Structure 1
Amino acid sequence: MGGLTAEEPEMLAEHHHQHRDVTGGWLRPAVFGAMDGLVSNFALIAGVAGGNASQQVVLLAGLAGLAAGAFSMAAGEYISVASQSELALAEIEIERLELARHPAAEERELAALYEKRGVDPVTAAEVARQLSRDPEEALEVHAREELGVAPGDLPSPLVAAGSSFVSFAVGAILPVLPYLLGAQNLWPAAIVAALGLFGAGALVARVTTRSWWFSGLRQLVFGGAAAAITFGVGALIGQSGL
């Protein structure tokens, strides 16, 4: 029980630990896209079914909601990501011109950024000088430090649009499946949607600190509430004969 042995400090220094991906990686947008499709389309189907519509009308509404929602999500995501990338590229080009026209001033600016982070002035100036020797390396460093982006690592609008389309469609098809298989009322679709909501919520727990059952139940409650409200609206409209 005495002090540390000669090997123990080295063993402690080599200790490593891993952090979870705080951005969620691909899982977060995929699950939330599917969840969006599931909640919105099930709520749409519930609203139409609440108005005493026929099985064919409910099925048509579900398929139309799937197509409209998936294409809308894809178009919106494409425009959003493309606009963001175009803005970033424009700012990167401004930074490229500044580096070509005023290299000394840009080097001093980079050194000042490191000084603000606690690096002593001499070391900050040396680091900035070495990084500024390669124009492309300097551009990447300036872009990361000043703009928060990397010139060669901008998101693809096509990939974003395609993934949004697929994830939304996967979620939206779940409540439609029972009607495609011949269901005549809302209950089979409600059961499938409930399982999908709980499963999606449980998957979200992989990128949060919540337990899987809490996340699953939370999503089930919110999705069920949305469907219940639209079912009520559909029932009221159906009874009024509008």
Structure 2
Amino acid sequence: MTADAPLAEIHHAHRDVGGGWLRPAAFGVMDGLVSNFALVAGVVGGGAEPRTVLVTGLAGLAAGACSMATGEYTSVSSQNELTRAEIDKERLELERNPDGELRELTLIYEAKGVTPALAADVARELTADPDVAWRVHVREELGVDPDDLPSPWTAAGSSFLAFTLGALIPLLPFLLGAATLLPALVASAAGLLLAGGLIARLTARPAWFGGGRQLLLGGLSAAVTFGIGLLVGTGVA
């Protein structure tokens, strides 16, 4: 590679791993699909009529999507509030004890393999500007980027939409007039394979591994609730 090579040839792009959308989206679509498929299976196992199954599934979709969005918003907001509190503490320490914080940053760089003299020079250079100093300390000590905290709205919206999409899959056959669990079983199995495979590809894992794993876990969940519904329905009858 030559020194005058274009930047596009020597720099490789990375995917966004900290935007706050992938985890809630992946969790949401799987939770929606598995939980609603399991709910539908349990209700069918209990002997419910198709209309009752559909109403129960739609209620589960609405309740689950709202619950997921609320939980994600609260979780990310709380994490950000804790992070900002620690940032404020770090900025206060830099004002009260700049020499101590300088030594701390120097030791951090030494622990990473930088020679003591160079570590001290780097620490001094980075802390010369107060606006840069606290950001450097936050990144090195807390391991977070203060300028790129995850958005609670992004997490909540991703979770809500993903859960809704996943939860609709086992309901589609009933919306189209199905009277048995078999069409929902086929649709849910296909959805689990597809969603698991796509998520696996996003995380650089084999599609067959992600799809198979989700199919196995989702199938076990539905089998458990179907069995419980069957037992309870028989007992009530």
Same fold (TM over 0.5): yes
Shift of 1:141: 0.5
> What's the counterpart of residue 178 of structure 2?
183
Letter in 1 for 2:92: L
Q: Does 1:166 align with 2:137?
A: no
SS in 2 for 1:184: coil
- 8 Å CA contact 1:21–1:207 kept in 2: the answer is no
Q: Does 1:75 align with 2:76?
A: no
Shift of 1:16: 6.2
| 1:47-81 deviation line (CA, Å, top 9, x unaligned) | 00111101111011101111111111111111111
Q: Which moved more, 1:19-28 or 1:53-62?
A: 19-28
What is the RMSD computed on CA atoms of the aligned residues?
A: 2.5
- 8 Å CA contact 1:205–1:211 kept in 2: the answer is yes
- 8 Å CA contact 2:24–2:155 kept in 1: the answer is no
- 8 Å CA contact 1:79–1:157 kept in 2: the answer is yes
> What's the counterpart of residue 3 of structure 1?
none
| 1:143-189 deviation line (CA, Å, top 9, x unaligned) | 01111112221111121111111111110111111111221121111
Q: Does 1:146 align with 2:102?
A: no
**TM, length-normalised to structure 2:** 0.89
- 8 Å CA contact 1:31–1:203 kept in 2: the answer is no
Q: Separation in 2 of the partners of 1:110 and 1:118?
A: 13
Number of aligned residue pairs = 234
Q: Separation in 2 of the partners of 1:225 and 1:22?
A: 33
In structure 1, which of residues 203, 208, 224 is the aligned counterpart of residue 198 of structure 2? 203
- 8 Å CA contact 2:37–2:170 kept in 1: the answer is yes
Q: Does 1:237 align with 2:232?
A: yes
Q: Separation in 1 of the partners of 2:184 and 2:229?
A: 16
Matching of residues 20-99 of structure 1 within 5 Å: 23=17, 26-99=21-94
**TM, length-normalised to structure 1:** 0.87
Q: Which moved more, 1:79-88 or 1:153-162?
A: 153-162
| Structure 1 runs not aligned, ≥5 long | 1-6
In structure 1, which of residues 214, 219, 236 is the aligned counterpart of residue 214 of structure 2? 219
| Structure 2 runs not aligned, ≥5 long | none
Pair member with larger Rg: 1
**Closer/same/farther in 2, CA of residues 24 and 41 from structure 1, 3 Å limit:** farther
